[in-house]
Every structure is written in structure tokens, then in C-alpha cells.
A and B are shown apart, each in its own frame.
Chain A
Amino acid sequence: MPYRVHCMVCAGTGCVSNRSLDVREALEREIRKRGLQEEIQVVTTGCNGFCAVGPLMVVQPDGIFYQQLTPKDIPYLVEEHFIKGRPAQKLMYTPPEAPSPIPRMSDIPFFKHQRLIALRNRGLIDPEKIEDYIARDGYQALVKALTRMTPEQIIEEITRSGLRGRGGAGFPTGVKWRKVREASGEPKYIICNGDEGDPGAFMDRSIFESDPHSVIEGMLIGARAIGARHGVVYIRNEYPLALERIQIAIQQAREYGLLGENILDSGLDFDISVTRGAGAFVCGEETALIASVEGRLGDPRARPPYPSEYGLWGKPTCINNVETWANVPPIIMHGADWYSQIGTERSKGTKVFSLVGKVRNTGLVEVPMGITLRELIYDIGGGIPGDKKFKAVQTGGPSGGCIPAGMMDQPIEYVAPDGKREARDYLDLPIDYESLTDVGSMMGSGGLVVMDEDTCMVDVARYFLAFTQDESCGACTPCREGTKLMLDILNRIVEGHGTMDDLRALEEIGWVVKQTSLCGLGKTAPNPVLTTIKYFRDEYVAHIEAHKCPARVCRELNTYRIDPVICVERGHGCGVCRRECPEKAIFGEKNQPHRIDPALCKKCGVCVDVCHFNAVIVE
């Protein structure tokens, strides 16, 4: 019998961490118990994107969206929805301002504003079943590329589509393919760069997890276009689920003859091997990645020669990011004209962003290029939780920069597509490769970290620099020594020992590192520091001159005191802080106001965390 209902249970890493597999098991058990196993199918999908409210499930064909499920909810859900036919309202999603739950996924603002191309199959297929991918026209673009297009036509189509590298730099994909095709030297190689290392970014992981065959099909089309026989998927070992799914997908494609020799009787020979990365951030840089695939230390080298001429094993190599490959089949299927009408003048198509930080709807979103930060953060992201003020957004990961919230008195000049110039708020900046670079940040691979008024920008800069400093491979002096010096200065500033000379030095070293480093890691590592100095200089000055952290994040600079009135009237001198203080710096009796001895206080902040009455004041 055919199934009447499909339960699409999300099994992306986010939902799995929140025990979605237990939910799935409970669901399967309950469905059997109720004798519905012939009518209702449970499907495990990749990341749905709305990670903030996981574990989640979409019930098709009606598209009912259930969220924050636990195994305990399942008997009720099955009884109400599948037996009585009443979708269970209390398990649905209610946006903060909405009066009632929104039953259908397509009506939820988080999903409504998205346009899926790279993630076209997410939540609709079981990523471990090649048949599910084929059912959604999978491998049909390959058929078209093999039977109705010459390699030149494929490259022309990709070039005209305007697709640019989604790994961050935004190099035109078609141009790269042509270079590799025309380069002398055989064999030629194709690499899929899945070494996604930015803190808080999970675009590539999600594509591997929800639709691995789209990457394989993209690589096959690339192989036909440039004339490669062998491909490598480079994926970090910290992504066990993504690794498992791409391996399963490759195996299935081989069994079906979609990888191997004489694919679909076309004469194309192509196979893919998987190389696991050990988690070094620098291996996302293409020359370091190639060194790592070859079994050497993941050190970058100077370019040129670029990998398109001298890549893997010294041969011409086409290296593209996961998301770029996933975009290839739809472009071949629907044509360059279709693709290039989406996006802005210079950046075509869509981009996947991981939306994280101080935003209500954290998750993975795919939106057309040219969308504004305001739409991303407020319409899709649902704004800032807890009525806090939006302060800045960090794009491009540790290599990117911070863009401040609406500085209405300092609008930027925006040149509209028709050439008209107007002043715009930063938040209304249409996002594309160029506009982000213009404000000192970058697209990067697509990480978006939202920050609110409780975020200290100096601390943020220090966090990202600590990351890049740690990941610096040490091959070139500016990056190795420069990031270390910068981090030392930042540590001094957040501890209250910085000077104004330090701030000047920080900027100067930053520019030197940016201009003289060997590879992209060093060239971009100072960005978070330089942009925060540019837009939030007053915060640096407050740390240095007033020894104050305006966001009260840098604990060394805070002073702690207990409000005697709150302590007695609300807390009756409960003494929790006194008992928990590791330095025994708090004194007081029951029903009496407690007091912190500043001479003994080590500013650890435990008293703030344990006080139930908010009596501890941080200044």
C-alpha cells in the first residue's frame, strides 16, 4: 500500500545533538503500536535549517511543522494528528509576536523568505537513498551535460550564469574551469573543498548531510567540462555524519555506475575518493589543502602558479567549494539565464548563510544575493532575543569583519543598479561579494554572527584573532609573528593594561600582516581587529583610558558590588554568594546586607551567576 503520510524527521547534526534520533525511534514505535506502519512512513532527512527549534519534523503532504519534540510528545502527536486528523497545535512553532502557532512550514517567516537552490532537496529526501535524489530529477543535469552539451558549452553555461566561488573569495567558477581545461598536463584533477573551519559556520556540512549526491553530480559535470578522471572530496574528520553520508553516496553512485568507467555509456570515466582532514583551519586554503591530500603537512605555498596550472601532484586541478559544486546541476538543468536573473549585478544566484549568535532563529538559510542584512536578521532571523539592542554583525568568520548596526549619522553611499547614488543605513546594505568588501568585511564562506549590546567588540576581536593565531601554520613571518603580537596587545587591553600606543601599534601591525602574509589566512586574520577599531574605536578607548568594558564582558575591568537594599529586601541576605565565592571575598550574616571586599575579589563573576535576586552589580 502507498503511504499517505511521510514524517520527515530532521537528522542534521544540530537536531541529532538534541536527540532527534530518540524522537524518530519513539515515533516508529508508536506508529507500529497503533498499527499505522502501512500508512505512515518515517523518513530521516538532512538539516532542515531551523536548528534553533530542533528536534523538528515536517509532516507531508500537508507541510505541518513540528518543533522541539521529545519522545514524550510522540504518543500525543500520533493520536491527535494521525488518528484523529487534528494537527497538534501545542507542538507547532509560534513566532514571538504571533498570536497563535503557525501550522505550515511554508508560512513560517524563517522559511518564507528563503530561496533554495544549493539546498533544493533539504528535508525532502533521505540523503542515504540515491533513489530519493533521482526522484527529484537527480543526475538529469548530468544526462543533459553528457548527451546534449560539449565541454565548451558546459563551461560557457557556467560562465554566463555568473556563478562565483562560494568558499569566500568569489572567483568566477566558469573562468576557473576554462583555465583548468586549457592548462597543459594530464591527468587533470577535481577537488571538492569541504574543509569548513570557521567557528559557527556549517553550510558545507549541511549540504553533505542533507544532499550529498548534489555534490557528486556537480563534480561529474565539472569532470566532463574540464576533462578530469579523478576527483577528491576533502572533508574534515570532525564532521562524522557528513563524512558517513558522502561515503554512502559515493558507494551508491558507484553501484549504479554513476561513478566509474563509461558512465551512462557516454565514455566518461570518473571516480571520487575521500580524504579526511585533521581539522587544521589553514587546510581550507587551496594550496595547503592540496599539500594535505598529497600526504604532506598542510602548509600553503606562494601563488602563482595557481592550482589550475600546478595543483594536485603538480597537475592542473580544479578546486571548488561544496556549495559551488551543489549549485552546478541546477544551472545546467535550468540554464544560465534562469540562474543569472537571481541576485545582484555582480553576484548571481543565492548564498547559504549560517545565522548564529544573538538572533532568535539561529539556523541555516539560503537567500538570493542582494538581500539586505535587515531582512536576514529581522525577517528571517526574527530579530534579537530579549529586547536587546542590535549592535553588529560579523560576516566571513575569523577572516571577516564586523559591520555595525544602523549608524544613521554615518550612512554609506550606495550605488543602485541604475547608477543612482543614495545614502543608506548599513542594515539596508544589499549583501554581495563587493558590498561586503567595501565595508571592510567579506562574504567568506557565509558565517553570520549577530551581536547585541551585551557583546564587547574588543573581546570579539580577541576571540577571532586567538583562533587565527592558533591556526596560523607558521610558514611566513608576518602571520606567525604578527598575529602573536596583535593577540598580546589585545590581551593587555582586555586586562586593562593597554595604552593608546598599543592601539596604534595594533592597527599598524594589522595592516602589515594583511598586506604581506603568504596566504589567505594571514591576509584576512586582522580583519576582525581592524574593522572593530574602525567602527568601535570608543570601546577600545574605554578599555584603555577608563579601564572600563562598556558591555561589561571583560571581567578584569569590572568591579563588583552588592546592592544592600536588594540583598536584604529581596534575598534576605541568603548568603549563596558568600558560600560560592572561591576567594572568600564576600562577608555578611543572614538577613543582613552582604559586602564584597575589593582587595580580595579576583573578579571571577561567580557571585553574579549564583545570585537569584540580581543583587550583584557589575560596573
Chain B
Amino acid sequence: MPKLKIEDLARIRDQARRSTLLREGAGRVKIIVHLGTCGIAAGGRNIMAAVLRELEERNLEDVLVSTSGCAGLCSREPMMTVEVLGQAPVKYVDLTEGKVREIFAEHIVGGRIAERYALAVGSERAM
């Protein structure tokens, strides 16, 4: 191991932070893949894999991935919710790996909601 210079320290920090930022629960975008029984049966696991692949290929550091159970609309699974910080969450339905790629390009990176795949903007009211 060669001796560190000050710039190296910043480089190591940025590199390591990519993997540890997740622990602080802070991100620009949060993606929730719905993995209830219905979601899994409809291929949700492949959607999850596609999401993680996109994250890697695009080298995105500020996107958190989470899972949740059935969203109550089993006929439209696989589903995922994309929540950009400060904006209403968007639910995407009837997903395929191809659609995931498009949603990444347009919404998560591009900032425009991919309306043709979106079910609705916003969530149900709880309580």
C-alpha cells in the first residue's frame, strides 16, 4: 500500500461512501419494489435484479432500493414505486425489465415521469 496523499483520502472517501451512504438512509430517490406473494409470482424478483443492475451500470449513488409487500393491486404486478425527494411517489405497474430500463432513463435520471407506465401519482390516504 503506497502512502496516502490528501487527494487519495478524498478519493477513497467518495468511493467508499458509494456503498455506505445507504446506511444513513439518505438518498435523492427511493425505489420500492413490491414483493408480496403476488409481486413475486408475477416476476418481481427479476424486476429487483433489473433495478440493481441499472444502479450498477449507471453508477448511481443516491438511489435507495427498498421492498414492500402487496400494494393491493395484484392484477397489475410487478409494481414499483419511485419516490424522488420532495415529490409525490409514482407507482409503475405491469413492469418488465425493458420498462425498468426506460423508467430509469426517463424518470430516475431524466426527472420526467414515464407516464405511459405509471398507474398514478401519489398514494392512498392512510387513516
Contacts and interface: CB of A to CB of B under 8 A. Distances in A.
A61 interface: yes
A537 interface: no
Contacts of A139: 9
Nearest to A82: B67
B4 A264 contact: yes
Interface in A125-157: 125, 131-132, 134-140, 143, 147
Interface stretch (A1-9, A400-408, A500-508): A1-9
B16 A62 contact: no
Contacts of A264: 4-6, 9
13 contacts: A1-B52, A1-B55, A2-B19, A4-B22, A4-B65, A6-B23, A61-B25, A83-B35, A134-B16, A147-B6, A255-B1, A264-B6, A265-B5
Interface in A1-32: 1-6, 8
A503 to B, nearest CB: 56
B69 A86 contact: yes
A256 B34 contact: no
Contact of A85 (B5, B18, B19, B34): B34
Contacts of B116: none
| The 7 nearest A-B residue pairs measured at CB | A85-B67, A257-B3, A135-B16, A85-B35, A4-B65, A131-B16, A60-B23
B67 A61 contact: no
A220 interface: no
B126 interface: no
Contact of A2 (B24, B56, B66): B56
Interface centre among A39, A82, A135 (most CB of B within 10 A): A135
A1 B4 contact: no
A85 B69 contact: yes
Given A60-B22, A140-B9, A135 B17 contact: yes
A3 B22 contact: yes
B122 interface: no
Interface string B60-95: 000011111100000000000000000000000000
Interface of B: 1-6, 9, 12-13, 15-25, 27, 30, 33-37, 39-40, 48, 51-53, 55-56, 64-69
Contacts of B22: 3-6, 60-61
Interface in A21-47: 38-39, 41, 43
Interface string A234-270: 0000000000000000000001111010101100000
Interface string A390-403: 00000000000000
Interface residues of A, number: 42
Contacts of A62: 25, 66
Interface string A54-85: 00000011110000000000000000011111
A451 interface: no
A124 interface: yes
Interface in A102-139: 124-125, 131-132, 134-139
B47 to A, nearest CB: 12
Given A84-B36, A85-B33, A85-B67, 6 more contacts: A5-B22, A38-B52, A61-B23, A61-B64, A82-B67, A147-B6
A140 B20 contact: no
Nearest to A253: B4
Contact of A265 (B6, B15, B66): B6
Interface centre among B4, B52, B53 (most CB of A within 10 A): B4
Contacts of A39: 48, 52
A60 B19 CA distance: 12
B68 to A, nearest CB: 5
A124 B23 CA distance: 6
A124 B65 contact: no
Nearest to B67: A85
Interface centre among A3, A41, A134 (most CB of B within 10 A): A134
Contacts of B69: 84-86
A192 B82 CA distance: 49
Nearest to A4: B65
A140 B13 contact: yes
Contacts of A136: 17, 20
B40 A84 contact: yes
Nearest to A35: B45
Contacts of B34: 85
A125 B24 CA distance: 10
B35 A256 contact: no
A2 B53 CA distance: 8
Interface centre among A61, A62, A138 (most CB of B within 10 A): A61
A581 to B, nearest CB: 56
A265 B25 CA distance: 35
Contacts of A86: 36, 68-69
A258 to B, nearest CB: 7
Given A84-B37, A84-B40, A256 B5 contact: no
Contact of A132 (B16, B24, B37, B39): B16
Contacts of B67: 81-82, 84-85
Contacts of A83: 35, 40
Contacts of A262: 3
A257 B4 contact: yes
Given A134-B12, A137-B13, A2 B36 contact: no
A147 B7 CA distance: 12
A84 B35 contact: yes
A143 B23 contact: no
Contacts of B39: 85
A4 B52 contact: yes
A398 to B, nearest CB: 38
Contacts of A84: 35-37, 40, 67, 69
Nearest to B32: A85
A86 B37 CA distance: 11
Contacts of A138: 13
A63 B12 CA distance: 25
Contact of A60 (B5, B25, B56): B25
Contacts of B48: 4, 39
